[in-house]
Amino acid sequence: MSYTIALDFEDGVTRFIKCSGSESVVDAAYRQGINIPMDCREGACAACKCRVESGTYGLGDYIEDALSADEAAQGYALACQMRPTSDCVVRIPAESSVCNTRQESYTANIREVRRLSDSTFSLVLQGEALRKLLFLPGQYANLQVPGDGAHHRAYSFSSMAPDSDTASFLIRNVPGGRMSGFLAERAQPGDPIALSGPFGSFYLRPIQRPVLMLAGGTGLAPFLAMLDKVAAAGGSPHPIHLIYGVNTDGDVVETERLEALARLIPNFSFAVCVVAEDSRHARKGYVMQHIEPAHLNDGEVDIYLCGPPPMVEAVARHLREIDVKSASFHYEKFAASAA
Instruction: Please report, as ranges, the residues that interact with ligand FES according to CB under 6 A.
Output: 38-41, 43-48, 66, 78, 80
Helices 221-232 and 255-264: crossing angle in degrees, nearest 10, is: 20
The CA distance from 309 to 311, in Å, is 5
Residue number with CB closer to ligand FES (50 or 160) = 50
Residue number with CB closer to ligand FES (13 or 78) = 78
CB of 46 to ligand FES, least distance (A): 5
**3-state SS assignment for residue 26:** helix
Torsion of CA 6, 18, 75, 77, to 10 degrees: -120
Residue number with CB closer to ligand FES (5 or 303) = 5
Contact 249, 274 (CB under 8 A): yes
Residue number with CB closer to ligand FES (7 or 227) = 7
Residue number with CB closer to ligand FES (48 or 99) = 48
Spatial neighbors of 243 by CB under 8 A, at least 6 apart, are 212, 213, 214, 215, 270, 271, 273, 287, 290, 291, 295
CB of 52 to ligand FES, least distance (A): 14
Contact 270, 244 (CB under 8 A): yes
CB of 79 to ligand FES, least distance (A): 6
Neighbours of 190 (CB within 10 A): 9
- Give residue number: closest CB to ligand FES: 80
State how far Cα 63 lies from the chain centre: 35
CB of 78 to ligand FES, least distance (A): 5
CB of 55 to ligand FES, least distance (A): 19
The CA distance from 202 to 172, in Å, is 19
Residue number with CB closer to ligand FES (47 or 116) = 47
The CA distance from 295 to 270, in Å, is 11
CB of 37 to ligand FES, least distance (A): 8
Contact 236, 267 (CB under 8 A): yes
CB of 19 to ligand FES, least distance (A): 15
DSSP state of 163: T
Residue number with CB closer to ligand FES (99 or 288) = 99
